[in-house]
Every structure is written in C-alpha cells, then in structure tokens.
Amino acid sequence: MKDDIIYLVLLGTCIGFGQYYRKLTNPQEKKLIGTGFGFLVVLSVSGFHMLHMLFCYLVSALLIIYASRKVCHLACFGFMFGYLCFFRALALLGYESPPGHTNMIQMILTLKLVGLAFEVNAAHTRRQLAAAGTGEPPKDIDQTLLQLDMLNIFHYSFNYVGVLTGPYITYKTYLDAIYLPYSGRANCVAATLERLKVIPLYASLFLLVSYVWPLQYATSDEFYLEHSFIYRLWYVWPTFFIFRMRIYTGILLSECVCTMAGFGAYPVSFASKPGHGPTKETPVPASLEGLEYNFEAVRNIDVINTERCWTFREAMKYWNMCVQYWMAMYVYKRFPSKKYRTLATLGISALWHGVYGGYYFCICAAPFYLPIEDIYVKLFVNDATGTRRTVFNVLCWISKFFAFSYMGIAFLLLTVDKIWHYYSSVYHFGYVLWLVMFGVGVLLTKQRKAAAKREERARQQSTKQD
C-alpha cells in the first residue's frame, strides 16, 4: 500500500503539472521543462538507482546513432532486455534491489529506446528502398529519425509524460506533442475528467474486495487446511477482480498524465490507433477551428469492452493496448519464424514484465487456451441465433473470466513454489478442464465435418437420381 500511495501521489502531481505544461508554446522550452520535470520524478523515486536508467540511455543512444542502421535495432533490443534481466537480478548478486517504481521506469525506458531503434531501422530501410525505386517515398519523419543526436534521445527518454508508467508512445507522437498545435486546441481537461470520474469507483472496489479477500490469504496455511477445494478454486475470481481494479486505476491515471499534457491529441480524421498514432495523417490545416480531437494514440485500456466482450481473444485486444502495439510491431511481425512468433511474442512479454515464474505461467498459457475457445466458438456460437446465441455467449463470458482468473493467480503469486502449491491444491483443475475440452472439441469438430460430408454425398446422389 505504501508503494501504491507513492505511485498515486506522483501520478497526481504529473497530472496537475500538465495544466501548466501544455500551455507552453516554445518547443525548446517545452522540451527542456518536460525533461527536467521527468528527471526530477525519476530521481525522487529511484535515488542513486537512476544510474541504471542513465547508463541504458547512454549505451542505447550510442547504438542508435553510431551502429549500423541495419542492426542497431537488434543490438539495442539485446542490450536493453539483457540489462533488464541484470537489473532484476541485482538482489541475487548481493546488491540492493531497486525500488518497485524504478522497475516500472526501467520497463518503459526499455520499450522507448528499443522502439526508437526499430523506428530508425525502418526509416533507413524505407530510404534505401525508395532510392532503389522499389518502395514508397520516405515519410516526413524519416529524415528526423536518421539525424537523431544524444540530446534529442535524452529528451524523449526522460520527458515526464509516460516516464513513470507509460503508456508507450512513439518518437513521432512525442515530437507532434512538442511541435504541432493540437495539444493547445484539444479539450484536454474534459478528456482528463472523463477518465478521472470512474477512477474512484475502481479504487474503492479495489480497496473493498482486497480487504475482504486479500491475495496474501491464498498463501497462508489456514487457506489450504481449513477451506474446501471449491472455495480454493473460487478464490481466483476475487483475486483477479482486485488485480483488474488496480490495473484499471493505474492505467487510467497514466492516461490522464498524457491527456492533461496534450500528448496524443490529434484530429479525429487522423484515425489514430493506440501506440501507433495517426494512420491517416494530413498536413496541419490552415484553420484549426471546428476540428474534433481525440486521444486514441495514448489510449492504453478499454475497460468497458474488456469487461463486457464475450471471448478471451477479444478481451486481450482491449488490455494494455500500447504495449500490445509495441509487441506486435517489434516482436511478432519481425520474428523470422511464423510458426513460433506467437510464443516468442508472449515470451518477450513475460520477460518484460519480470523474471518471476508466475509471469511465464500466466502469459505463456494464453496461446494454449485460445485454440480451445476458438473451437467452441466455431462449433456453437457462430451459427447460433436468438436466445441460444445469448446463452452460448454468456457461457463464453464465464469461461473467459475463469481463464483470466485461473492464469492470473500465477501472475500474482509470482514464485513457482507458491503457484505449484496453489494449483496442486485444486488438482490443476483449469489445465485438466481445458485438456478435456480440447479433446472433446476436436472430436465434435471431426464428427461435424464427417456429417457434413455424408450430407453432401447424399445430396449429390439425390441430384444424380433426379
């Protein structure tokens, strides 16, 4: 709770600072003040541990600027994720472990610097293809990316917007917030209040449910000795509910830092997407009157759709969307093997979250559940209508949250011994259930295909006789 209070105070301070920051009109002044305040935030949280971030910035910036454009992204990726592992292993090596908030800063810095290296590599590739006459003309941002210097990378790395907990924004989105006039025209206060108004509800639910069903209770002897299998299995529901409310509160507050500062503000016509930014960008119009704006570029979570959508696969799309964009662009689409790219992406996601076994139990279990869900959606949901469709959708919804909750308790328990103790106490019910469901689903699919073939043969024979 102490960490959470510090986290809330810092985010609240950053949100309030945005009221002043977005009114700055001089780009150089905006860069300096944003970076200066971000530097103070990092220093106040990390103390001398800030040396980790400065070292990572220095090495990555040198790689981005001076390494070959063909491999700078791979070199930066290897260095930053390797250092992230070292950073988290300091306690095992006999050194003082960095504070939890410093870990979050290091996580976001990893995404920023590696993402920037990939942006530079993509700009270089586009320029080469255009020069050879085999590609599209370079983008406007490409020349800027290929002329980066140490100071520009420093400003991007330590600007206070997103430095603590994200969301991830591209270098272009950062530059647009500094140089373009949209942040001064969008209704930043209204966008911030729209997010803030629901946070007391999520925070209250978090405090209430965590008081009644604390996660720590699931590690106590009383939990295992005095409660039944049904109670222990049911306990994953309130623990994952607590986790969701905590995440909703934190992510929405981090979005408020962006919206109050004007970061990610674009005209609606630009069709911005989370993490990516504008997809249909046009030059700045002569008149900005009457333009409608949104902050989709920095939208990191869609709480309503996460809760009400029917399937696990769909819910994943609304969760931590800016990080998902990063994983999709720089891991999934770049991974050389199509067969293993999903597993590789989830593995990198787990590594980014931490070194605890719980992250791998949770995140890497998802690709094994998704095919099961897909089978049953195809068998029963897609062709159903009316009340039958509603019933199947509700069953999918229950299955979705059970899957999230059952996997999620591993994410929360963290260590392999605690995870194994819990799963053993419920006889690995979730995994056994999904294995049975997969077998039954495959059998039903084969039977349905065989029945369809018989019907087709019977129809063909009937046609011949006629």
d(CA 149, CA 145): 9
Task: Using alpha carbons, list the distances in angstroms from residue 462 to 448, 455, 456, 466.
Answer: 21, 10, 10, 6
Task: Count Cβ neighbours within 10 Å for each residue of 201-239 and write b for 16 or more, e otherwise.
Answer: ebbebbeebbeebebeebeeeebeeeeeeeebbebbbbb
Cβ-proximal residues to 114 (8 Å cutoff; 6+ apart), any chain: 60, 73, 76, 77, 80, 81, 330
Crossing angle of helices 386-413 and 366-376, in 10° steps, is 170
**Residue 179 phi, psi dihedral angles, 5° rounding:** -105, -30
Sign of the CA dihedral with 399 first, then 401, 407, and 413 last? negative
d(CA 70, CA 179): 29
- Cβ(75)–Cβ(128) below 8 Å: no
First-residue to last-residue Cα distance in the chain: 78
> Is-catalytic flag, 320?
yes
- ∠270-276-277 over CA atoms, to 5°? 30
The beta strands (E) that lie in 232-371 are given as 266-267, 293-294
| Active-site residue identified among 227, 353, 421, 428 | 353
Task: Using alpha carbons, list the distances in angstroms from residue 315 to 274, 310, 312, 370, 401.
Answer: 15, 8, 5, 11, 10
d(CA 264, CA 274): 9
Task: Using alpha carbons, list the distances in angstroms from residue 6 to 1, 102, 160, 228.
Answer: 9, 12, 16, 38
> Is-catalytic flag, 52?
no
| Active-site residue identified among 103, 159, 294, 320 | 320
d(CA 363, CA 308): 21
d(CA 264, CA 296): 7
Nearest to 10 by CA among 50, 48, 37: 37
| Burial of 353 from C-beta contacts in 10 A (0-12 / 13-18 / 19+) | middle
d(CA 415, CA 368): 21
Cβ-proximal residues to 67 (8 Å cutoff; 6+ apart), any chain: 75, 76
- The catalytic residues are 320, 353
